[in-house]
Amino acid sequence: MVLFLILFARESMRTHPRNIGEQFTVPDSTDRSRHYPVAMTFRATAADRIEHFSRKLEFETDPSDVHAAIHAGESFVLVDTRGDVAWRQGRAVGARHLPTREIAARAAAEIPAGTPVVVYCWSPGCNGATKGALEFAKLGYEVREMIGGFEYWAKEGFPVESDEGRIVREPDVLTAPAAGPDCDC
């Protein structure tokens, strides 16, 4: 086992850059099933790329855009798809709690048909919002996923509350500009 770890560490040091600007080396340059260089030439056309990113924006939004839409008075329901414990711990102010496992049974009674829905879960590392969006889509709702989830909503300094009350957070400068209301992107 120790020999394996030593060999693995040695190979890892050879194939992964240690310094900014150092180049990656690919152990087997003929095996593209495991590695896709950033500068690889893809077969997609410009039209394919435009279609891909346009479609992606039809189904995704982010905390900054959701916050701006709320303040602009846009009509939609923001849905927290996480479970009860997560909801009690903290949530976006104004969100409605509808855990993914309950959407099929409760959505029609709680959210009028034709109402746009934006769903979120914990973070970019959680696909709960995707699962929730799928459930709403199956019911015929116009639905978008808020990428970044509750984590980035909170990190960007947007209003958060828990069962204990309002939670005030300063924006995390790694996710939102310290001097402005949004990233202006």
In order of their start, the domains of the chain are 64-167 (3.40.250.10)
Tokens encoding 111: 């959210």
Concatenated DSSP letters of the chain: -HHHHHHHHHHHHHHS-SSTTPPP--S-TT-TTS---TTPPPS--HHHHHHHHHHHHHHEE-HHHHHHHHHTT---EEEE-S-HHHHHH-EETTPEE--GGGHHHHHHHHS-TT--EEEE-S-TT--HHHHHHHHHHHTT--EEEETTHHHHHHHTT--EEETTEEE--PPPTTTS-TTSSS---
The answer to whether the beta carbons of residues 107 and 140 sit under 8 Å apart is no
pLDDT attached to residue 175: 75
CA distances from 116 to 4, 29, 121, 133 (A): 53, 47, 17, 11
pLDDT in tens, the chain (185 residues): 443 333 334 444 444 444 444 444 444 555 555 555 666 666 889 999 999 999 999 999 999 999 999 999 999 999 999 999 999 999 999 999 999 999 999 999 999 999 999 999 999 889 999 999 999 999 999 999 999 999 999 999 999 999 999 988 787 877 777 666 566 66
**Is the Cα torsion angle 82, 84, 90, 95 positive or negative in sign?**
positive
Give the pTM. 0.75
Q: What is the pLDDT of residue 179?
A: 66
Of 7, 24, 6, the closest CA to residue 15 belongs to: 24
Give the pLDDT confidence score for residue 123 in this predicted structure.
92
Q: Which of 101, 102, 138, 137 is nearest to 118 (CA)?
A: 137
Q: 120 and 81 in contact (C-beta within 8 Å)?
A: yes
Q: How far is CA 140 from the centre of its chain?
A: 22
